[in-house]
Amino acid sequence: MSNISLELDSCRHYLTEEHIKKAVDASRLLIEEVGEGNDFLGWKDLPFNIAEDYLGEVKRLADKFKACTYVVCIGIGGSYLGAKAIISALGDTFSPYKRRSRPFVLYAGNNLSEDYLYELVDLLKGESFGIINISKSGGTTEPAIAFRILNQLLIDQVGEQKARDLTVAVTSPISGSLRQYALKQNVSMIHIPEDVGGRFSVFTAVGLLPIAIEGYDIDRLLQGARDMQKTTISTHFESNISMQYAAVRNALYDAGRKIEILCSFRPKLRYFAEWWKQLFGESEGKCGKGIFPASANFSTDLHSIGQWIQEGERSIFETVISVDHTKHKLQIPSNDSNLDNLNYLSGRRLDEVNKSAETAAKLAHIDGNVPVIQIKMPTLEEYYLGQLIYFFEVAVAISGYMLDVNPFNQPGVEAYKVNMFALLGKPGYEEERNNILRRLKR
Which of 42, 77, 91, 290 is close enough to bind ligand PA5 by CB under 6 A?
Answer: 77
- Compare residues 10 and 79 and give the one whose CB is closer to ligand PA5: 79
Q: Which stretch binds ligand PA5 (CB under 6 A): 72-80, 256-264, 336-344, 345-353?
A: 72-80
User: What is the chain's length?
Assistant: 442
Strand partners, 107: 73
Strands (E), 53-154: 70-74, 104-108, 129-135
Alpha helix (H) residue ranges in 214-349: 218-232, 241-254, 270-284, 306-311
Q: In sequence order, what are the residues at sequence separation of 6 or more whose Cβ sits closer than 8 angstroms to the Cβ of residue 107? A: 72, 73, 74, 75, 80, 84
Range 91-120, binding ligand PA5 (CB under 6 A) = none
- Which 187-216 positions form the footprint of ligand PA5 (CB under 6 A)? 197-199
Give me the residues paired with residue 108 across strands: 74
Radius of gyration of the chain (CA): 23
Q: Does 133 bind ligand PA5 (CB under 6 A)?
A: no
Q: With respect to ligand PA5, which residue has the nearer C-beta, 78 or 400?
A: 78
Q: Does 79 bind ligand PA5 (CB under 6 A)?
A: yes
Q: Could you tell me which of 59, 60, 62, 89 has the C-alpha nearest to residue 73?
A: 62
Nearest C-alpha neighbor of 301 from the set 259, 342, 357, 239: 357
Cβ proximity to ligand PA5: between 370 and 394 the closer is 394
Site for ligand PA5 in 317-376 (CB under 6 A): none
What DSSP line would sit under 150-198, residue for residue?
HHHHHHHHH-HHHHHHTEEEEE-SS--HHHHHHHHHT-EEEEPPTTS-G
Task: With CB under 6 A as the rule, give the number of residues binding ligand PA5.
Answer: 14
Q: Choose between 109 and 371: whose C-beta lies nearer to ligand PA5.
A: 109
22 is catalytic: no
CB contact at 8 A, 141 and 417: yes
293 binds ligand PA5 (CB under 6 A): no
Stretch that binds ligand PA5, among 1-9, 130-138, 367-375, 387-395 (CB under 6 A): 130-138
Of 208 and 248, CB closest to ligand PA5? 208
CA 11 from centre of chain: 26
Q: Given the complex with ligand PA5, which of 136 and 249 has the nearer CB atom?
A: 136
- One-letter amino acid of 284: E
| Residue 409 beta carbon to ligand PA5: minimum distance, rounded to whole angstroms | 9
Question: Is residue 19 part of the contact set for ligand PA5 (CB under 6 A)?
Answer: no
Alpha-carbon gap, residue 143 to 136, rounded angstroms: 11
Q: How far is the CB of 230 from ligand PA5 (least distance, A)?
A: 26
Which CB atom, from 178 or from 375, has the smaller least distance to ligand PA5?
A: 178
Half-sphere exposure of 211 (CA within 13 A, CB side): 32
Should residue 400 be labelled a site residue for ligand PA5 when binding is judged by CB under 6 A?
Answer: no
Q: How far is the CB of 317 from ligand PA5 (least distance, A)?
A: 24
Residue from 69, 137, 223, 231 binding ligand PA5 (CB under 6 A): 137
Q: Of residues 59, 66, 327, 417, which has the active-site annotation?
A: 417
Distance CA 421, CA 429 (A): 7
Per CB under 6 A, does 290 bind ligand PA5? no
For residue 128, is the peptide bond before it cis, meaning its omega torsion is within 30 degrees of 0? no
Residue 217, CA distances (Å) to 52, 184, 283, 391 in order = 15, 33, 28, 19
The closest residue (CB) to ligand PA5 is 198
Q: Respond yes or no: is residue 414 known to be catalytic.
A: no
Q: Supply the minimum distance, in Å, between the C-beta of residue 81 and ligand PA5.
A: 8
Nearer to ligand PA5, 227 or 282 (CB): 282
* Binding test (CB under 6 A) with ligand PA5, winner from 46, 62, 71, 76: 76
358, 324 in Cβ contact below 8 A?
no
Q: Return the range that interacts with ligand PA5 (CB under 6 A); candidates 18-26, 73-81, 180-188, 396-404.
A: 73-81
Which one of the listed residues 142, 214, 282, 393 is annotated catalytic?
282
Strand order across the beta sheet in which 316-323 lies:
5-7, 372-377, 316-323, 259-264, 292-297
Binding site for ligand PA5 (CB under 6 A): 76-79, 135-137, 140, 143, 197-199, 282, 410
Active-site residues: which are they? 282, 417
